[in-house]
Chain A
Amino acid sequence: MKKNRERFCDREREFVYTFKVGSQCLELRVPLKFPVQENASHLHGRLMLLHSLPCFIENDLKEALSQFVEEESLRDYDRDAESSLEAVKSGEVDLHQLASTWAKAYAETTLEHARPEEPSWDEDFADVYHDLIHSPASETLLNLEHNYFVSISELIGERDVELKKLRERQGIEMEKVMQELGKSLTDQDVNSLAAQHFESQQDLENKWSNELKQSTAIQKQEYQEWVIKLHQDLKNPNNSSLSEEIKVQPSQFRESVEATGRIYEEHRKLEESFTIHLGAQLKTMHNLRLLRADMLDFCKHKRNHRSGVKLHRLQTALSLYSTSLCGLVLLVDNRINSYSGIKRDTGNQNGESDDKTKNAERSYLNILPGEFYITRHSNLSEIHVVFHLCVDDNVKSGNITARDPAIMGLRNILKVCCTHDITTISIPLLLVHDMSEEMTIPWCLRRAELVFKCVKGFMMEMASWDGGISRTVQFLVPHSISEEMFYQLSNMLPQIFRVSSTLTLTSKH
């Protein structure tokens, strides 16, 4: 088919026009390339000018030219059409495959021919939840979630205590053994004890993780059933028990055992906000914020000041199924199944009850730097979506460039933000969650500059994807950064982004 096509395309044909000037017969020959792209009247004007043709033939030439173009194009259409019919007839193109390609295209793209939609539990639940959270039942809903959260925190607390006890016991044992080392015990004995210790730790951890898994699953199911039931009851007007159902819940509100006891170590949170403009002529406005805070602060429910937290929670819950979501970038290593560092902490946050947290499918074990998986959350304090961006040790080195996988990952994250209405995104500015020794002041400045500049570039690119919807981008730096460093970074920001001027109110002259 290809060959046939080539024969008919991009051919030159000659347009011949004869006219008389007095007794003289003149001929105009113009090679034209088909298919003709340009407007016939432009072409005509050019011919008149180029060949200094007399004005009296103007209209006649115009007509002849457009007729010629029309006829020749029709002939091309016919030939092209016939050749494709011929290709089917001769079997060069498989009829069945052709027909099924068409059928597939219709089935995949048009509502009329698409397969009927399987009811999606996800979306139905979305509607139900969205309804409830925007109803008086919202408080009950949040309280229930909170209770789940508390009970899971207690479990985690217990786990930690038990693990701690175990470790302490093992520590003592090990110490004893070490004292005996070289006397009555050999290296091998020590090793076997260490292995034994590790094994019992693993066992305990597994036990707990199973228990946690089980309780979250129970909670999840309970919660879902309860939400569906409540929704049905709400729809049913002659249900008197309803108001009770809603009322009863708050009284059940349990204070967390450690709520008063465990006070978060509150670092002085540093924060600075900027309003910036992007674009040369038409400017789009965005908000930037530089924060010295822990990434997980956005996930944690701070138990020590409840009312404010509740508002945060409510806000997050209300917007869960809206078109302005909040996202967070967490940096992870490439071992999805392992359980360490920040992933462990997130795990703890996530573990605290959930109605519909969906973890990424655990099937791909290897993810590469720059790739990320996305989890969705309904009960983190300020976050709906978490991007788990895979980075390697390379980010600790000082010389990463704008083409680094981590940076490209950020770009893809911002792209997802565009396509999925995530309007607030928090990014670790230095691409690390914790500071280490090699991260000197110049290292920080260099890294911050790189990330600022790249994000600026991506935001400008985003404007062409989504028409410049106003966004909030939060840059987070680790707690361990000094106040001085923080202000150095906050001074850098307005040099890279164009900060909109403060509104100055002046009296009229």
Chain B
Amino acid sequence: MFPLEDAEIGAFTFFASALPHDVCGSNGLPLTPNSIKILGRFQILKTITHPRLCQYVDISRGKHERLVVVAEHCERSLEDLLRERKPMSCSRVLCIAFEVLQGLQYMNKHGIVHRALSPHNILLDQKGHIKLAKFGLYHMTAHGDDVDFPIGYPSYLAPEVIAQGILKTIDHAPSEKPLPSGPKSDVWSLGIILFELCVGRKLFQSLDISERLKFLLTLDCVDDTLIVLAEEHGCLDIIKELPENVTDLLKKCLTFHPSKRPTPDELMKDKVFSEVAHLYTPFTKPASLFSSSLRCAELTLPEDISQLCKDINSDYLAERSIEEVYYLWCLAGGDLEKELVNKEIIRSKPPICTLPNFLFEDGESFGQGRDRSSLLDDTTVTLSLCQLRNRLKDVGGEAFYPLLEDDQSNLPHSNSNNELSAAATLPLIIRERDTEYQLNRIILFDRLLKAYPYKKNQIWKEARVDIPPLMRGLTWAALLGVEGAIHAKYDSIDKDTPIPTDRQIEVDIPRCHQYDELLSSPEGHAKFRRVLKAWVVSHPDLVYWQGLDSLCAPFLYLNFNNEALAYACMSAFIPKYLYNFFLKDNSHVIQEYLTVFSQMIAFHDPELSNHLNEIGFIPDLYAIPWFLTMFTHVFPLHKIFHLWDTLLLGNSSFPFCIGVAILQQLRDRLLANGFNECILLFSDLPEIDIERCVRESINLFCWTPKSATYRQHAQPPKSPSDSSGVRSSAPYFSAECSDPPRTDLSRESIPLNDLKSEVSPRISAEDLIDLCELTVTGHFKTPIKKTKSSKPKLLVVDIRNSEDFVRGHISGSINIPFSAAFTAEGELTQGPYTAMLQNFKGKVIVIVGHVAKHTAEFAAQLVKMKYPRICILDGGINKIKPTGLLTIPSPQI
């Protein structure tokens, strides 16, 4: 989007038609309200950016099918010029005509027809150039179908538009659906407007609407429309004195028969504009992020760099895009409805006065006076930016142009720096509503994303602080490492040819996050369908499992106008977090995943784990939709966003921690209840405090040794050549982000049944060495890591018999021989180290032995005694032996 510059932001409102009573859609589901249909169709308008068109910014639904549209706005319009009642100079008329045509041509190229062209919808910016307003109304209302009022203004309707009459497509079977108005109707409207400008007065003012329309239709039979119109309004002499190219232009526009009338595109190229056409350079849309063309292609430094600083003004806010300014306006307390109420555009009556007297069984009401407040008043109200500017008056220029090269300063050094860092410690929900904080974050992310992928590392770093909601779509794409010609790739996928999965997709979409306006709109459904089909078609080895729709939802929501990016993000997300989950036979993957999850519950919360196992409430019963959809099936979108903001920074084992964190939030209720109540509780997951959930998941993650969540069916680590280049990104919670290369000390895969039989997770020798901060002397190359004080202190329990222990053991480990460790009742027998073991309760305890069965049993006993963070050394003591790390204690101890 363009910077705001001297433009303003305006809002106008209208009502969508109410739905007929008790009509169901063809699929048996209730009909989509018209306001939602409009909202969905509106979205694409936000991408239509042209200097001659008012940039659309936002649409919002109010009560009772009201819609409020926010768009770029200028206070002055051609209406104001007409009010001066002076004929306009011919050169000016030509310029205006050409500029309007530029706008129309660009719209037409995107399949949009204006239909509501009128002097008050042709705005004038500060430099006197025109901008077309309300150009998307015809498009967003499905050519007028979804609103009660006619689109367009009586004086400016083209004859064919009048002749087509007001037909709602809903009255007709689709086969006889009349075509909507074409691009040429706008040319007629333009002709009338230009005529008015030339003569300096409005036409048809003395005629009422039906006479006006009748008059317009009779123009068929006249020789020269221009002369007839001029005679009718007594301005023949003015018209006769117009230069030839202007009369020519008017005649071409006011050609009665559309087949003979030029399109905007044709008219622009006409010789009547030979004088003015060269004054305008054709507009090219700047390349966006993820476009395949070079974004820097047009960038050139001027000879004299000081030129760049020449026209610097101090209004930095005006340099931000209109979308950002509006976003900040809302944060600074802007209230659309209030603005419209203040200007008396919204005049609602007290509802008690508009109640009907009587209602029939079919829902038809009687005795309800027509509510005048529902009439269309399409006046645009300028939203005052005073409050926002006032709020931001202390924000220095540095905040608007942060320096990115210095890695140390991620936040600008301004006066408000302290305040900002103070703000950074506030809860996320408050930060997301803080105007200044968001301004800083948005600008920072905007700049970093513009430098993506070069600035990828810094994006990761900043994303760890938080992600500004406005930039979330692109930031996620950056975090997922989306690159390349995503549009070309998406376009080349066949999303139309029917496939067997279609039926299932069709069933699932109307049930997926439908509380959301965007995703429940027909436009949203169509996009869902395409992205899902594209994924299914382009992943022949995988299949569509129910849940993929939920997984798609956050990406589609964030990139509603960029299906290719939504598809690319989803395609990058699935292999990272849900590797092989969508195999046709995914049972082995899911089973392993759930078993590891069980072990994680036991590791972090033995009491809960014991209870759940006792009542038989195993993860298979509730956790499959959690993981298969990465929680998108269970949470509403706004919670998914916060959850995934963190999830995307973690590795593929982070979801286990989220799962445990959710269980812990419901801990009390789970512990207090039996199987049936638990099933009931989880059939519709209760409200979860998502910020707490995120915080606790991170904490759990930090306590979890990396190898504890090892899965043999996880995505194999990328080959070094692959990862060296791009994946040098900073790690998040642990010291490692991508998996380290495999060594002999890594975990080995074991059969699923063995894994299932073990309550506690195994950890690799590598992890043990790392956690004990042992130095490896042997020929093994273990990565050398920084010592971190935050590393959990741990206790190694050696359960071999004491003879073996004396022959060599891990330094610092204690010896509790398995054979004598427990009493018949399962209590710990008192031994020299019992107290020590109790002291370490809560720390990580690693059980080491040489018989796998014994270590597992020992661990299980400890879990039963509610010892948390119990794990087993994978491969036993034998794994450590070759490293030469075993020590022999001095005999006196």
Contact = CB atoms under 8 A, between A and B. Distances in A.
B293 to A, nearest CB: 13
A420 B369 CA distance: 13
Interface string A329-372: 00000000000000000000000000000101100100111111
B515 A88 contact: no
Contact of A110 (B149, B159, B184, B633): B149
A280 B149 CA distance: 36
Contacts of B184: 74, 77-78, 81
A323 B351 contact: yes
B220 A85 contact: yes
Nearest to B632: A281
Contacts, number: 258
Nearest to A78: B259
A87 B361 CA distance: 41
A89 B220 contact: yes
A35 B178 CA distance: 11
The SS class assigned to the A binding surface is helix
B164 A500 contact: no
Given A98-B165, A467-B61, A9 B354 contact: no
Contact of B358 (A78, A126, A364, A498): A364
Contacts of A416: 355-356, 359, 365
A102 B162 contact: yes
A102 B164 contact: no
A395 B202 CA distance: 65
Interface stretch (A111-119, A145-153, A173-181): A111-119
- Size category of the A interface is 35 or more
Interface stretch (B206-214, B651-659, B762-770, B787-795): B206-214
Given A102-B209, A372-B358, A420-B351, A78 B30 contact: no
Interface stretch (B491-499, B569-577, B578-586, B642-650): B491-499
Given A81-B258, A368-B361, A498-B684, A106 B30 contact: no
Contact of A122 (B33, B160, B353, B360): B353
A41 interface: yes
Contact of B165 (A76, A96, A102): A102
Given A111-B376, A281-B636, A325-B351, A408 B515 contact: no
Contacts of B669: 501, 504
A9 B165 CA distance: 18
A506 B148 CA distance: 55
Given A42-B491, A85-B163, A371-B361, A281 B513 contact: yes
Chain B CB within 10 A, most for which of A117, A280, A409: A280
Interface string B366-378: 0100101001110
A93 to B, nearest CB: 7
B530 to A, nearest CB: 8
A422 B356 CA distance: 13
A6 interface: yes
Given A81-B182, A463-B515, A130 B357 contact: no
B64 A419 contact: yes
A105 B166 contact: yes
B686 A500 contact: yes
Interface in A240-266: none
A264 to B, nearest CB: 28
Contacts of B633: 281
A117 B349 CA distance: 13
Contacts of B181: 77, 81
Contacts of A468: 515
B13 to A, nearest CB: 12
Contacts of B495: 42, 46
A142 B179 CA distance: 61
B183 A74 contact: yes
A230 interface: no
Contacts of B149: 105-106, 109-110
A420 B164 contact: no
Contact of A93 (B165, B263, B634): B165
Nearest to A62: B491
A366 to B, nearest CB: 12
B257 interface: yes
Contacts of A102: 150, 154, 162, 165-166, 209-210, 213
A2 B176 contact: yes
B63 interface: yes
Nearest to B635: A281
Interface in B636-684: 636-637, 668-669, 684
Chain A CB within 10 A, most for which of B182, B491, B516: B491
Contact of B515 (A78, A279, A371, A412): A279
A23 interface: no
A87 B352 contact: no
Interface string A75-106: 01111111011011100010110111111011
A192 to B, nearest CB: 41
Nearest to B261: A78
A158 to B, nearest CB: 32
A197 interface: no
Nearest to B256: A85
B375 A38 contact: no
B258 A48 contact: no
A409 B358 CA distance: 11
B243 interface: no
B873 to A, nearest CB: 28
A478 interface: no
Interface string B490-524: 11111111000000000000000101100000000
A80 B634 CA distance: 50
B164 A84 contact: yes
B353 A42 contact: no
A468 B515 CA distance: 9
A103 B357 contact: no
B496 to A, nearest CB: 6
B496 A42 contact: yes
B259 to A, nearest CB: 4
A101 B176 CA distance: 20
A55 to B, nearest CB: 10
B361 A9 contact: no
B350 interface: yes
Given A9-B176, A102-B213, A281 B634 contact: yes
Contacts of A279: 515
A74 B182 contact: yes
Nearest to B185: A81
Interface string A403-421: 0010011001101100111
A86 to B, nearest CB: 8
Nearest to B148: A109
B177 interface: yes
Contact of A500 (B165, B208, B259, B687): B687
B217 interface: yes
B258 A77 contact: yes
A453 to B, nearest CB: 16
A67 to B, nearest CB: 11
B355 A77 contact: no
A477 interface: no
A371 B359 contact: yes
Interface of B: 30, 33, 61, 63-64, 148-150, 154, 159-160, 162-166, 175-179, 181-185, 208-211, 213-214, 217, 220, 256-259, 263, 349-361, 363, 365, 367, 370, 372, 375-377, 490-497, 513, 515-516, 530, 633-637, 668-669, 684, 686-687
18 contacts: A5-B177, A8-B179, A42-B491, A49-B492, A77-B183, A88-B217, A99-B214, A102-B162, A103-B209, A108-B370, A111-B377, A113-B154, A282-B516, A283-B636, A320-B350, A320-B352, A504-B668, A504-B669
A-B pairs with the 6 shortest C-beta distances?
A77-B182, A81-B160, A109-B149, A282-B636, A99-B210, A321-B350
Given A87-B163, A106-B154, A370-B361, 19 more contacts: A76-B179, A80-B164, A80-B178, A81-B181, A85-B220, A85-B257, A102-B166, A109-B150, A109-B376, A110-B149, A282-B516, A282-B636, A320-B352, A325-B352, A364-B358, A371-B360, A412-B363, A463-B515, A506-B668
